[in-house]
Amino acid sequence: MDWRRHPATPWVLPIAVFIALLMLQQIVPVPAAVRFLVSTGTIVAVSRKPLRGRPARPMLSILLGLAVFAIWVGPDEIFPGWHESVLFNNPLVGHPAGNTPPASQHDPVFLFFRIAVSVVAVPILEELFWRGWLMRWLIDSNNFERVPLGTYAPAAFWIVAALFATEHGSYWDVGFAAGIVYNWWMVRTRSLWDCILAHAVTNGALAAYVVLAGQWQYWL
């Protein structure tokens, strides 16, 4: 089957391209601008159909996104050094240290595109994959398109939340909590755009916290 016509392509290809760029970053530097432009270009090229529509509950999605941001930074604010414990700082999950070079922390061009990646590209490509495709594919791998967005199945719900946690390295605990919240919001709203908006607000608030408070460890 032609991959360009495969039903999973609009949902999966953007995150696959993004992961490929992150892997390439381990070999040669990939500027944040390139990651943003290539990722958003892929989304525009292949994912316009599933992205039709708009948020059904925008204000609640914004509030939910802020709540997830509080969940994300809360443990370290309440218990300083929380993510320095062996549960979150070990060879298996990695170390709670950011990867932003000190010189880039004051580079406005880098910061603009790094924030754009976090707030624009990542929420779209991750929600397309995790809650738009994978939750449905785990329910019916033969024809995920027959499964409506937001269909609840316990195994799919918790597997996606757990896998979403692993994506966030040393912050797997708050990643797991965020995955549960975003999954629940998809089940509640059955709206991809509500999840994208909530995710974008979380990442935007986190980006502001990182830059303004100097908490660079959150940008892995």
Does pTM surpass 0.85? yes
User: Is residue 1's pLDDT more than 80?
Assistant: no
Structure tokens given for 117: 């990646």
Say which DSSP state 148 is in.
P
Q: What is the pLDDT of residues 72-120, one digit of tens each?
A: 999 999 999 999 999 999 999 999 988 899 999 999 999 999 999 999 9
User: Is residue 205's pLDDT more than 90?
Assistant: yes
pLDDT for 5: 80
Rounded to a whole number of angstroms, the distance between the first and last alpha carbons of the chain is 36
In angstroms, what CA-CA distances link 155 with 162, 165, 168, 189, 196? 11, 15, 21, 19, 22
User: Is residue 2's pLDDT more than 80?
Assistant: no
| Opening angle at CA 86, ends 84 and 87, nearest 5 | 100
CB proximity list for 137: less than 8 A, separation 6 or greater: 8, 144
Domain ranges, ordered by start, for the chain: 3-218
Residue 36: burial class (beta carbons within 10 Å; 0-12, 13-18, 19+) = buried
Kindly state the greatest CA–CA separation across the chain.
Answer: 52
